[in-house]
Amino acid sequence: MSEVRTENSSGRASRSLAVAVLYPGELGVAFASMLQARGVRVITTLADRGEATLRRCREAGIETLATFDQVVEQANVIISLVPPAAAEDVAESYCKLAHLAPSGALFVDANSIGPEMASNLAAKVEAAGIGFVDAAINGLAKNLRTSGTLYLSGTRASEVVSLVGDGMRMRMLPGGAGRASAMKMLLAGLSKGICALYSELALLAHRQELQGEFAEAISKIYPGISALVERMLPTYAQHAARRVTEMQELEQTTRWMGLEPCVIAAVRSVHENLAAVSFDSAAAQTATALIEKLAEEQMLAADLTAAQDVSISVFGSK
């Protein structure tokens, strides 16, 4: 199978190369902007997309084509960046039109999906005569170029390395499709687990009127954890529902690998509670503000009568 030429003699990306980002959500726009800074022609389509996507696309100056068919015809590289539940639909829609794609076209799945799903998508895309690379982005969209990491696996992963160049940090993993997705899942599970545990402990501290002191102690004793929480927890106002799906994927993968997801299942449960909260994103721009909102919404509130009954049955009545 032929390869896509991603660089010119100066080391910059070839302007004749067209890269499609499907779709320009928050992370998609950040990735597209990084490619544009390297001289790449970035295209997309806004058919059936919402007003927020349209606005982001205009602000980023991403070239918009009228139809998905036109994107397939022109894109040498497709970057799929959608919610996990939509990853399969994007890949299957592309496969149906793969006969229109340029020679040597490459499909890069950069979604937060499990390794089993990534392997399945690779099989479908390659059966349609298109190259496949499993990719995973670790880090927030706003910090993509400074602290994000792009993990890659698959036989044509080196082409993506050439495409991205010095645009962001990258690491190629040995093996085929599924390896990058597995790494993303492991790292995301850890960060979400920390946020879930912190949220529960902070709610307890709030009940004990120690929330401020607890946050201060964490920042001094565990500054790395404090920094992660301050960076990630405010984003739950916008992304809680998507993170539930990611935790469900992790739980499923853990069972698929023959392990019982004890803590992982608990983290997923906390995320389901987070997703059920009606957030005002403007009022949840710090970790402290978000915890205040969770307390106001009575998240994780227990039946005190039932809890007292359990205590009496365990310790005996006085």
- Asked which of 127, 144, 175 is the last residue of a domain, the reply is 175
* One-letter identity of residue 249: E
Residue 39: pLDDT over 80? yes
Same domain, 131 and 276: no
Q: What pLDDT, on a 0 to 100 scale, did the predictor assign at position 48?
A: 72
Q: What pLDDT, on a 0 to 100 scale, did the predictor assign at position 254?
A: 93
Same domain, 39 and 155: yes
Q: What pLDDT, on a 0 to 100 scale, did the predictor assign at position 317?
A: 53
Residue 269: pLDDT over 90? yes
Residue-wise pLDDT tens digits, 211-239: 999 999 999 999 999 999 999 999 998 88
Same domain, 76 and 221: no
Lowest mean pLDDT segment, chosen from 22-26, 103-107, 225-229, 302-306: 302-306
Residue 158 belongs to domain with CATH number: 3.40.50.720
- Nearest Cα neighbor of 101 from 156, 176, 20 is 20
Residue 211 CA to residue 309 CA, distance in Å, equals 27
Residue 13 lies in a domain: no
Same domain, 74 and 164: yes
Domain enclosing residue 100, as ranges: 18-175
Residue 78 lies in a domain: yes
Residue 5 lies in a domain: no
Same domain, 40 and 129: yes
DSSP for 172-225, please give it. E-SSSTTHHHHHHHHHHHHHHHHHHHHHHHHHHHHHTT-HHHHHHHHHHH-HHH
Q: What pLDDT, on a 0 to 100 scale, did the predictor assign at position 47?
A: 76
Residue 307: pLDDT over 70? no
Same domain, 189 and 262: yes
SS3 267: helix
Residue 190 belongs to domain with CATH number: 1.10.1040.10
Work out the mean pLDDT of the chain and round it to a whole number.
89
- Nearest Cα neighbor of 189 from 96, 253, 257, 241 is 253
Q: pLDDT band for 186, please (50, 70, 90 cuts).
A: very high
Same domain, 152 and 98: yes
Residue 160: pLDDT over 50? yes
User: Could you tell me which residue, 12 or 118, shows the higher pLDDT?
Assistant: 118
Q: What pLDDT, on a 0 to 100 scale, did the predictor assign at position 299?
A: 93
Q: Which residue has the tokens 């106002």?
A: 237
- By the 10 Å C-beta count (0-12 exposed, 13-18 middle, 19+ buried), 110 is classed as buried
Q: How far is CA 269 from CA 10, 64, 74, in A?
A: 51, 39, 43
- Asked which of 175, 210, 237 is the last residue of a domain, the reply is 175
Residue 14: pLDDT over 60? no
Q: What pLDDT, on a 0 to 100 scale, did the predictor assign at position 9?
A: 47
Share of the chain above pLDDT 90, in %: 71
Residue 8 CA to residue 15 CA, distance in Å, equals 8
Same domain, 24 and 115: yes
Residue 55: pLDDT over 90? no
Q: How crowded is the C-beta side of 141, counted as CA atoms within 13 Å?
A: 14
Residue 227 lies in a domain: yes
Q: What pLDDT, on a 0 to 100 scale, did the predictor assign at position 51?
A: 79
Count up the domains in the chain and report the number: 2
- Asked which of 175, 209, 241 is the last residue of a domain, the reply is 175
Same domain, 56 and 136: yes
**Strand ranges (E), the chain:** 18-22, 41-45, 63-65, 77-80, 106-109, 131-138, 149-153, 169-172
Of 50-54, 92-96, 308-312, highest mean pLDDT: 92-96
Residue 149 lies in a domain: yes
Residue 103 lies in a domain: yes
| Positive or negative: CA dihedral 56, 276, 193, 285 | positive
Sheet holding 77-80, edge to edge: 63-65, 41-45, 18-22, 77-80, 106-109, 131-138, 149-153, 169-172
Residue 308 lies in a domain: no
Same domain, 60 and 209: no
Residue 316 lies in a domain: no
Residue-wise pLDDT tens digits, 282-295: 567 899 999 999 99
Same domain, 162 and 224: no
Same domain, 61 and 91: yes
Q: What pLDDT, on a 0 to 100 scale, did the predictor assign at position 54?
A: 80
* One-letter identity of residue 264: I
User: Could you tell me which residue, 224 or 315, shows the higher pLDDT?
Assistant: 224
Q: What pLDDT, on a 0 to 100 scale, did the predictor assign at position 279?
A: 83
